Structures are given as structure tokens and as C-alpha cells.
Amino acid sequence: MAEPLKICFYVLGVFLEQVRNPKRIPIPTYILGPTEKLESSYFSEVSLENGGELCENVTYLGRKGILKTQSGVQIAYLSGVEKSEAPEDGCHFSQDDILALESQCQDESFKGLDILITSCWPRSVSQFASRPDGIDPDRCGSSQISRLAEQLKPRYHFAGHEGVHYERAPYSIVPMASMDESELVKQPPDALTAITQKGHEKDHSYVALAKGGLVPDHVLICPIGHFESSVKLSEDVLMEIEKYKSALRKCFHSEGKSCIIFERNFYTQHLQLQAVPVPHTDVEELKDIFIEHGESSCLALKEVAVNTELKQAVPIGAPYFVVEFDNGERLLHRVLHKMPLQFGREVLASPSLLNMVDRVDWKACKVSVDDEKKIVAAFRKKFQPFDFNAI
């Protein structure tokens, strides 16, 4: 028996009628953006640059980017048709978009691309292969897309703009699934100063000092492997991260403080959960503070039930901000347009909590190497009784 579909990608504009007259879409479906002005009206509720959810289970990916599915499939996408200078109508891409995608794939941890999805066909797609019926592949399509495909070397490339069916031989016959999983998820060396050890083969995550932290005990919980967000975490990594959350809460509680943990999955490449101690505050009061600041920034923070997994509330690939409190209650904002990138820090630094508005920008809070070593040593000593790795 064939396995049921778990995810769907759609590159043809006719699907947009489902957005305007939505029926129940049974699986998460991801689509590219408009290629002509008439189609732009379907995207009026989301950012044409950054994407967002159009209706339940239908997400517009955005103009360009790379999506990694839960099963580890790497998918690059580029919306629109070619124009030398892409106008603001969201229907076109330019060489700058091509260069931005190429640069994302130059990270030393990037091991290759499984799928490339574009609106435009690549120019001369039939070179060294059979020719499609009904169109001239040397006259249609985009030379920029040809260049992108040559640079990224995906195993498969899907494009839907020419309105005919053509199946070319795969660009590459080496399946990425045959590569060692530890190599596929390995992150590049980073500049974070680890507080807990991350070298043991059984380790999935670690705690590190936040660069330019709001307070000396401002730390990050980071997966060792490359995961873009919490909704993409594997079960074993998620379980270990939950242990770190619990340990940090106990550590901060021992000093009479509340622990705020937040994540911004928007304009980020790697998952970082930020944990910050604040003076002990009732959870309901903390929620009110975040909701009030959210309203001031046009963000709609909604409660997520304690027994609901985040991946049940947010589709894979959809941007979001989430904050978690000591009792496990969470507030979630689904990013449909834009949001202040420092929103979490802004709330914590406000007079309502830490009262240090001059420390919102992390660059203004960096310390010397010697001071950083002292901060790390002090926190390691403080955290050691609560670190489950040391017990």
C-alpha cells in the first residue's frame, strides 16, 4: 500500500481559486507567488516578499528561499518571472534574487539540494535531453533560472509557467538519502560560547551564552544539528531541549526569578531558543505584558494550549514568534507580513520587566573576551547543580 501524501507543492496559478473559495485542504500545501498582476489579488493578506498562510493548510512560500521538510528534504524556491529590476508588484525576480539564493547554498554545512521549484522554466532546458512538444525551449524560459539550476545542482527541478508537460532526466542521480545523516545536519563552527558540553555522540543540543545578552544569565538553547525551527525538531532533539528548559527554570527559580523562553522563526537560519531570567512575575501578568506590546507592534499573540505541540499550531515553513512561560503556557504570533526582529528583547527590556531599554540592540551589549569568559564560568558554576548531564 502506498504511503499517504504528507506535503504538497504547487506551482500553477489555477490552484489560487482554492484560496478564494477554500474547501478543506487535507495536507500542508505550499505554493509559489504570482506571475502576473491579476494573480496578486490572491496574496493581498501576506507579504509578497516573505510569504505567509493564505488559508488553512495553504502557505505561500515567499519570493525566494530554502525550505527543509521534517524528513530532511532540501527545497529551494523562486517565484515570479524574470525582469532586470524586479518591481514591487511581487510578480518578478531579478539577478539579486538569484545571487541571494546562491549565497544561501554556499554555507559550508549545505550538502546539496534535493528539489528546486521555480515559476519560470530554465532556458534551453532540453540541452542534452529530449525536446518538449509544443514550445521552443531555446526561446522560452529564463537564462537566470538556467544559471540558478547550474549553480545549485538540484536532483529535481519543477517549473510550471509554460503550461505544457515535460519530464526531463534528473540533473543528478546520486540520492542525498545515501549520504550520512550526521553530515547532512552538521552545523558549521559557530561563534557561540558553549556552557554545557556538546561533544558527546549522544548529545542533541547544548546551552550557550547569548552574544550581547540582556543580562549575564541570558542564554540560548541550540540543537547541535541544523534545524531551522522548533516545528522541525526530531523527537529525540525535542525531548533533550525540553530537559534544558526545565533545568534552566529550576536554576532561575532558585534565585527567585521567572524564566522567559522565546523563539523567532523569521529571518533566521538556525534555531535558537532564548532563555532570559526576569524578576519573579505572575504568568498572567507576563502574558498581559507581551500581548500589550504585541498590540502596539500590530502583532496578534494568541494562547496555545499546554497539551498542543507547536507543529500542530504552525505549518512547516511558516514564520512565527512564540514565547513560553514557567507553567508551560505559550503565546504565538503567526507572521503574515512583518514583525520587529527584536520584539522579544524589546518586551523584556521594557520598563514593565527589566527596565533596560538601552539594551534592546544586542550589538550595544557585547562584552570583551575576558569578561565573556568570566560570565560563562560564573553561569557554569551556578547551572551545574541543575544540569542533567552532570547529575
Query: What pLDDT digit, counting tens, does each position of 91-146 carry?
Result: 888 888 888 888 777 665 566 788 888 988 888 776 655 666 767 767 777 888 88
pLDDT band per the 50, 70, 90 thresholds, residue 198: low
* pLDDT for the residue 174: 47
Q: Are 228 and 271 a contacting pair, CB within 8 Å?
A: yes
Place of cell 550526521: 182
Determine the pLDDT at residue 218: 96
Contact present, 354 and 215 (Cβ < 8 Å): yes
The answer to whether residues 148 and 126 touch, using CB atoms and an 8 Å cutoff, is no
CA distances from 232 to 15, 237, 287, 350 (A): 26, 10, 26, 31
Cα–Cα distance for residue pair 273/260, rounded to 1 Å: 10
Lowest mean pLDDT among 13-27, 39-53, 211-225, 329-343: 13-27
**With bands split at pLDDT 50, 70 and 90, how would you rate the model's confidence at 11?**
low
Alpha carbon 42 to its chain centroid, in Å, reads 24
Instruction: Kindly report the three-state secondary structure assignment for every residue of 316-332.
Output: CCCCEEEEECCCCCEEE
- Which triple of cell numbers denotes residue 23? 474547501
pLDDT at 6 over 50: yes
The band of 293, judged by pLDDT with boundaries at 50, 70 and 90, is: very high
Is 282 a residue whose pLDDT tops 70? yes
| Residues contacting 193, CB < 8 A, separation 6+ | 208, 209, 372, 376
* Residue 188, CA distances (Å) to 43, 92, 185, 224 in order: 36, 33, 10, 10
**Separation of alpha carbons 259 and 276, rounded Å:** 6
Q: How confident is the model at residue 206 (pLDDT cuts 50, 70, 90)?
A: very high
- The most distant pair of C-alpha atoms in the chain lies apart, rounded to whole Å, by 73
Grid cell, residue 43, equals 496574496
- pLDDT higher than 80, residue 179: no
Q: How far apart are CA 317 and CA 8, in angstroms?
A: 13
Q: In whole angstroms, what is the distance from residue 107 CA to residue 257 CA?
A: 39
pLDDT at 277 over 70: yes
| Whole-number percent of the chain with pLDDT over 90 | 33
Question: Which of the four pLDDT bands, split at 50, 70 and 90, describes residue 190?
Answer: very low
Q: How many degrees, rounded to 5, is the angle at CA 174 between CA 173 and CA 176?
A: 130
Of 23-27, 31-35, 149-153, the least confident: 23-27
Specify the DSSP element, H or E, that contains 221.
strand 219-223
The mean pLDDT value for 26-45 works out to: 79
Mean pLDDT, the chain, as a whole number? 81
Low-confidence winner among 94-108, 320-334, 365-379 (lowest mean pLDDT): 94-108
